[in-house]
Copies of this chain bind each other. A is one copy, B any other.
Amino acid sequence: MKRIEIIQNVLEANETVASRNQQLLDKHRVFAINIMSAPGAGKTSLILQTLTRLKGNLNTAIIEGDVASIVDAEKVQSKATAVVQINTGNMPESCSLIAAMIESALKDLPLDDIDLLLIENVGNLICPSEFTLGEHRRVVISSLPEGDDKPTKYPLIFVDADVVIINKMDLFPHVDFDITAFHRSVKGLNPKANVFEVSCKTGEGMEKWYSWVLEQVKTNATRL
């Protein structure tokens, strides 16, 4: 199966570049988080709130991954230390950021001035799970209107997540979402994941997320 072999080679090559990215980030003491979700689950909102809340504590850079457009980069521009936009285009293999895109973006970031790098992946619950970028932690956002069956239907992205964020809790009274069933599914796939229930709109539950980020950055700095 030639095609399968090529895919395998692509994934292995990606791992090599991802390791190189992490070494570079470690050298400059930058902690990187890869933020993944379906379209419209709230990646940009999470990043905007995090930038605002942690401005006094951390210098944060953003890499924005999108198929097309620069709307997200424009939104975060004024709040981040630096922003790089990556447009992946419309080819089938462009349904995710890959490590080589991050390697290129890192050249445009002032790494010595940055503590935290938030990478907003392309809106997709499938492809990004296969491609590591060199990040230290992986975050998946699932939002209430998407329904409680997403871990069952898109398991791999939840299996590898360090954090699962349940966003849009403000819509809880207006949608059918069995939160116990959701927690149970995530626990079945990934018992170690931290799960935070939040609303990026109202700020509900966000302090636990901010504390987790600060703690991770601190622990990483101690390690290096």
Contact = CB atoms under 8 A, between A and B. Distances in A.
Nearest to A37: B39
Place the interface of chain A in its size category.
35 or more
A10 B91 CA distance: 12
A96 B94 CA distance: 13
A40 interface: yes
Interface string A67-105: 111011000000000000000001111111000000000
A175 to B, nearest CB: 7
Given A39-B125, A67-B126, A67-B153, A91 B145 contact: no
A85 to B, nearest CB: 12
A144 to B, nearest CB: 8
Given A6-B3, A145-B171, A150 B95 contact: no
A176 to B, nearest CB: 8
A161 to B, nearest CB: 14
A212 to B, nearest CB: 25
